[in-house]
Amino acid sequence: MQIQGYFDLRFEALRDAFAALFENPQERGMALCVMVGGETVVDLWAGVMDREGQQAWHSDTILNLFSCTKTFTAVTALQLVAEGMLELDAPIARYWPEFAAAGKEKITLRQLLSHQAGLPALHDLLPPEALYDWETMTSALAAEQPWWTPGTGHGYAPITYGWLVGEVLRRIEGRGPGESIVARTARPLGLDFHVGLADEEFERVAVITRGKGNLGDEAAQRLLKVTMSQPAAMSTRAFTNPPSVMTSTNKPEWRRMQQPAANGHGNARSLAGFYAGLLDGSLLENDMLTELTREHAVGEDKTLMTSTRFGLGCMLDQPDVPNATYGLGPQAFGHPGAGGSIGFADPERDVAFGFVTNNLGPFVLMDPRAQKLAQILAACL
């Protein structure tokens, strides 16, 4: 496999580890970007971006980053907090009055951002087309009853997070949530990152496919078992309601939609650049960065049925939990996306890391490919 791009010679072992991932015949396309002290030391890509294996992955190839998007969304909300437009501990209903229904009058932005609001899923099954109707989804969530008493536990909200936080952004800024996020995070840093992709960008989007035959770790198998056997369970509903959530990734209407939990499009460079912008103070002042990265929720996750640890819209390192460590320092924070893409920062080493792949692995939190690369990066440092 021909590896394209640049690497500083100190990181040759990392380049070799990246190349070694392609020894698996199922791998398709991947990219890796690492910045240390704000300087790019590794920027590599290889493989193919289409299903048939005919189109090479290019320097400007982008792809769906899934939940890596969530931290961009949280940072946008925290910028509005810093500007006095939002309050972390004010009721959401102050900004979105309809949201107060069904016992939600006290739920705060802080609880939404740290997955403590009890709203990871909708109880009643919606039709597939509801996924693309913002009004339908936000109205359903405004009427929804929490699955547990808000603030008494946490459960990851894989997709509802986008409508919940996105509607708050929309109410404050009066524009699509993707427009706010891009204007406030990507544009100032010159990042190739989009939430709501323009049609003219489609030709450079890598097609996402799933690997076969790998059952993943215990956490993945537990979640799969529940989703296959208990259609009305909260964890099942979180990923399959509307039922189109799991099958829409490559569709034009998914790419166009502004769904700030799951459909950001970008590349490894935009992930590393975003985290470098958090480390150097470009995106948030110190007090807000502290809120973002401070532990808000830790322990058994009601949705994912494995241990998670959250700040505000970011996942914090759990060094002693194999499926939940970034593999660098214990202060690391960031967010994985479904199937392997990941962006994170290690403030102790001033490292920003982005890895993307269009061959989805079956892991719930950290993908072993990214973990392996991070371990080798640590050795290089």
Q: How many CA atoms lie within 13 A of 104 on its CB side?
A: 26
DSSP result, 294-340: S--EEEE-TTTSSEEEESSSSEEP-TT-GGG--SS-TT-EEEE-GGG
Provide the β-strand partners of residue 40. 35
Report the amino acid identity of residue 158.
P
Tell the residue number behind the tokens 């597939």, with chain if given. 128
Task: For the chain, give percent helix, strand, coil, nearest 5.
Answer: 40, 15, 40
Contact by Cβ (8 Å): 239, 45: no
pLDDT at residue 1, rounded to an integer: 85
Report the amino acid identity of residue 270.
S
Contact by Cβ (8 Å): 296, 311: yes
Q: How many CA atoms lie within 13 A of 97 on its CB side?
A: 0
Q: Residue 326 has which token pair? A: 């970034």
| pLDDT score of 169 more than 90 | yes
**Cα first-last separation, the chain:** 26
Per-residue pLDDT tens digits for 137-164: 999 999 999 999 999 999 999 999 999 9
Q: How far is C-alpha 38 from the geometric centre of its chain's CA atoms?
A: 22
Per-residue pLDDT tens digits for 20-42: 999 999 999 999 999 999 999 99
Do you find a cis peptide bond into 242, omega within 30 degrees of 0?
yes
Q: In angstroms, rounded to a whole number, what is the distance separating the alpha carbons of residues 17 and 376?
A: 8
pLDDT at residue 200, rounded to an integer: 98
Provide the β-strand partners of residue 266. 63
Per-residue pLDDT tens digits for 80-97: 999 999 999 999 999 999
What does the mean pLDDT of the chain come to? 96
**Average pLDDT of 303-315?**
96
Which residue stretches of 211-285 are H helix?
A: 218-229, 234-240, 252-256, 268-279
Task: Please state, for a pLDDT cut of 90, what percent of the chain lies above it.
Answer: 93
**Average pLDDT of 194-222?**
92
Q: Residue 135 has which token pair? A: 């009004």
Least confident of 121-135, 202-216, 333-347: 202-216
Write 130-138 long-range contacts (CB < 8 A, 24+): 130/242, 131/242, 131/244, 131/245, 131/248, 131/254, 131/257, 132/253, 132/254, 132/257, 134/163, 134/167, 134/258, 137/163, 138/163, 138/167
Provide the β-strand partners of residue 209. 359
Write 92-95 long-range contacts (CB < 8 A, 24+): 92/164, 92/168, 95/168, 95/171, 95/172
Q: In angstroms, rounded to a whole number, what is the distance separating the alpha carbons of residues 305 and 235?
A: 8
Q: Residue 227 has which token pair? A: 């989703």
Inter-CA distances, 307 with 34, 238, 337, Å: 27, 17, 17
Contact by Cβ (8 Å): 329, 316: no
pLDDT at residue 214, rounded to an integer: 82
Sort strands 194-195 and 39-47 into parallel, antiparallel or unpaired. Answer: unpaired
| pLDDT score of 131 more than 90 | yes
**Average pLDDT of 320-341?**
94
| pLDDT score of 2 more than 90 | yes
Report the amino acid identity of residue 26.
Q
Do you find a cis peptide bond into 128, omega within 30 degrees of 0?
no
Q: In angstroms, rounded to a whole number, what is the distance separating the alpha carbons of residues 343 and 375?
A: 15
Task: Classify the C-alpha dihedral 63-66-70-73 as positive or negative.
Answer: positive
Q: In angstroms, rounded to a whole number, what is the distance separating the alpha carbons of residues 1 and 187?
A: 33
Of 325, 338, 267, which is closest to residue 33 (Cα–Cα)? 267
pLDDT at residue 168, rounded to an integer: 98
**Average pLDDT of 281-289?**
98
Q: Name the band, by pLDDT with cuts 50, 70 and 90, for residue 213.
A: confident
